[in-house]
Amino acid sequence: MKVVGLSFSSRINGNCYNCVDYCLKRIKSRGYDVEVINFFDYEVNPCGLCDYQCFHTEKCIKTDDAKELFEKLTNADIIIYAIPTFGGHLASSFFILSERENGIFRSRLDYYVDYLRKINLIVIGNLSSGADMALHEAFYGFTNKDFYPESILLSAKEYGRRSINGDLIEDELVRNKLEKYADKIIDKY
């Protein structure tokens, strides 16, 4: 089985990247094929500057890396999104990818549901800055589904750290939580 972790953070070795990488190393130790992807290694443009061709021709007119990224994700058996929060909301990179799902999956809704079933979430942000609401925001894509993603919310302040330092993974309690989270995902599938 293939497990792909996608970090939506613009920092290569920030909390999102480090946490998803830690989970994937644990999953790899159980015999799975894993890959960590950084969203910013791909050029994925937001929706817009078009006439909604994807609603009429069932094909997005954008010529960026979105199709390549979605191909990697859809070929995975399990996906773990690692999403930072800013100002009480999920990172804009997450919304860019979510917007582009319309053009990719428009004519294949059953395929889209299969894709959603693979997704699990790591959300990183401080509760005092609305991270709990950001996690709630991430669940909107799963409304009226008979399934939900496994999720974990990590708050740097809870561990006496600053989010901007990117050192959350150095805390033993964080690593323990991520190990349990990774095991839960594998046991689910």
pLDDT digits (tens, 9 = 90+) for 111-126: 888 999 999 999 999 9
Tokens, residue 155: 């708050």
Q: What is the pTM of this model?
A: 0.94
Q: State which residues form the domain around 100.
A: 2-188
Region 14-26: mean pLDDT is 97
CATH number at residue 88: 3.40.50.360
Annotate the chain with DSSP letters as a single string.
Answer: -EEEEEE--S-TTSHHHHHHHHHHHHHHTTT-EEEEEEGGGS--PPS-SS--HHHHTSS----SSHHHHHHHHHT-SEEEEEEEEETTEE-HHHHHHHHHHHHHHTT-HHHHHHHHHHEEEEEE--GGGTHHHHHHHHHGGGTT-S----EEEE-GGGGT--GGG--GGGSHHHHHHHHHHHHHHHHH-
pLDDT digits (tens, 9 = 90+) for 87-101: 889 999 999 999 998
More confident: 129 or 82: 82
pLDDT digits (tens, 9 = 90+) for 56-84: 776 788 889 999 999 999 999 999 999 99
* Rounded Cα distance, 118 and 32, in Å: 15
Q: How many domains in the chain?
A: 1
Tokens, residue 48: 């817009």
pLDDT digits (tens, 9 = 90+) for 36-59: 999 999 999 998 888 888 777 767
